[in-house]
Amino acid sequence: MRPGAIILARHGEPALSRKCMLTSDQYRDWWAKYEVGGLRAGQTPPPELLATAEGAGAIYASTRPRAQETAAAAAAGREVMTDALFIEAPLPPPHFPSWFKLPPKYWGAVARFWWHAFNHHEGQETRVEAEARAEQAAQVLIGRAETGQDVLVLAHGYFNHMVGRRLKADGWKLVHNQGFRYWSQRRYEKR
């Protein structure tokens, strides 16, 4: 039997505004709010994501509210398996002087670089631990796809990227790529 596809989709646009300037300490607080916040009101999933969800034999979502709300909107009442395995990798920023301010988007890039390059995790999940979790997630998805069903995951941009790297290492090919914007999909197939 040919395996189904594995589709990694990013959640919709969060309600918490990114249009602000923050110190590293303020970004730490902003990220904590982001992790427990939901989606900006008035969004609807794109038709392509709705079609993917309709055709999926299994739908997974991260436990974070923004992923849960995305799943509820895309799955249209179908069963969604919620799993903390798919939560985003942490983003603790390095400590910078209080006069140094950046928008959240740039703090995210700085924090991700520090996490990757310098193992800066502040007691949260390390890169090595997140990579092991991504491998575990990939194996769960591969196991489900091997039943012949397409598998949809509604989760987070960077962790989806990490899972996608593991899928590629296991012989899965990225055949459709909408990038990392909100509501986007990346489809992997075993060739």
What DSSP string runs through 92-160?
Answer: PPPP--TT--B-HHHHHHHHHHHHHHH---TTS--HHHHHHHHHHHHHHHHHHHTTT--EEEEE-HHHH
pLDDT at 81: 97
Beta bridge partners of residue 61, listed in sequence order = 82, 154
CATH 3.40.47.10 for domain 5-190: no
pLDDT at 75: 95
Cβ(135)–Cβ(153) under 8 Å? no
pLDDT at 191: 81
pLDDT at 101: 97
Question: CA nearest 141: which of 8, 48, 1?
Answer: 8
pLDDT at 1: 81
pLDDT tens for the chain, residues 1 to 191: 889 999 999 999 999 998 999 999 999 999 999 999 999 999 999 999 999 999 999 999 999 999 999 999 999 899 999 999 999 999 899 999 999 999 999 999 999 999 999 999 999 999 999 999 999 999 999 999 999 999 999 999 999 999 999 999 999 999 999 999 999 999 999 98
Contacts of 37 (CB under 8 A, 6+ apart): 14, 15, 16, 65, 66
